[in-house]
């Protein structure tokens, strides 16, 4: 269900939040799937941290993000590519 200033034109949806954070989730899941298909072992714990307030500077989730980042030697931030909406 779309709310607010969202619109749908054909098979495309437009509006705040349509692509941004969800694109990173899809990239993450496909990367794990690809590792499995290529026989690349994943022998480390994987943590997905999904927040919903990035548009306003992560004011509610910043402390959680920082706490989780301190627990690991490496983290990866996946997001949509620049100008992805033009694709």
pLDDT in tens, 25-82: 878 889 899 999 999 999 988 888 888 776 677 788 889 989 999 999 888 877 666 6
Structure confidence at residue 3 (pLDDT): 60
Segment holding 74, helix H or strand E: none
Within 13 Å of residue 14, how many CA atoms lie on the same side as its CB? 7
Contact yes or no for 68/47 (Cβ under 8 A): yes
Largest CA distance in the chain: 44
Query: Using CA atoms, how far apart are residues 27 and 31, in angstroms rounded to an integer?
Result: 6
Structure confidence at residue 36 (pLDDT): 94
Contact yes or no for 49/65 (Cβ under 8 A): yes
Q: What is the pTM of this model?
A: 0.57
DSSP 49-65: ---S-GGGTSTTTHHHH
């Amino acid at each position: 269900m779309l709310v607010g200033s969202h619109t749908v034109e054909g098979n495309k949806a437009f509006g705040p939040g349509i692509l941004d954070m969800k694109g990173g989730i899809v990239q993450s899941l496909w990367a794990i799937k690809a590792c499995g298909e290529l026989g690349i072992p994943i022998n480390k714990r994987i943590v997905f941290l999904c927040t919903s307030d990035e548009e306003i500077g992560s004011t509610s989730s910043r402390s959680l993000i920082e706490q989780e980042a301190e627990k690991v030697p490496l983290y990866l931030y996946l997001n949509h590519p620049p100008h992805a909406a033009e694709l």
